[in-house]
Copies of this chain bind each other. A is one copy, B any other.
Amino acid sequence: MTVRVQTEDFDAGREIAALRAGDARVGAVATFIGTVRDGSDASDAPKVSALTLEHYPGMTEKSLESIVIEARGRFNILDALVVHRVGALAPTDQIVLVVVTSAHRGEAFDACRFLMDFLKAHAPFWKKEATSEGTRWVDARTSDDEAAARW
């Protein structure tokens, strides 16, 4: 079980390969990657040109670790990895990676989704968008709290 907060990009293929390497108990690997949208398709709002990810150093890793421990308690999984980037990002950049290995797909899917839902609702990250009209802090989505409350 590993969590990392980093400014550098991640290589999803390499992370997946490392997490399941040599483990013949693994039959299922569920992966989620969150990426920066420019928002130009979704609304009349001006296009996002850049995104800054701020976090709360010290709390962030603890928060992610406690979410992974919670997932391990709820689901029969073999291993899990969470990588979250911070700092300056651009549209199409990768933001977050969650990888879960398990024997069967149901547990891998459930745990991966649980990790994302809890991360979205509880981990101390904040997004600030830059557009041609200036910068603004992204508002939290009620749907993210609802997604976490489902579990």
Contact = CB atoms under 8 A, between A and B. Distances in A.
Interface of A: 11-14, 16-17, 20, 22-38, 40-42, 91-92, 103, 105-106, 108-109, 112-113, 116, 147
A32 B29 CA distance: 6
A103 to B, nearest CB: 6
A40 B14 contact: no
11 contacts: A12-B12, A12-B13, A16-B33, A22-B92, A24-B91, A25-B37, A27-B36, A29-B31, A32-B105, A32-B109, A34-B105
Given A33-B29, A37-B25, A20 B92 contact: yes
A44 B16 CA distance: 29
Count the copies.
Answer: 2
Contacts of A42: 25, 103
B24 A38 contact: yes
A89 B29 CA distance: 17
Contacts of A40: 24-25
A40 B23 CA distance: 11
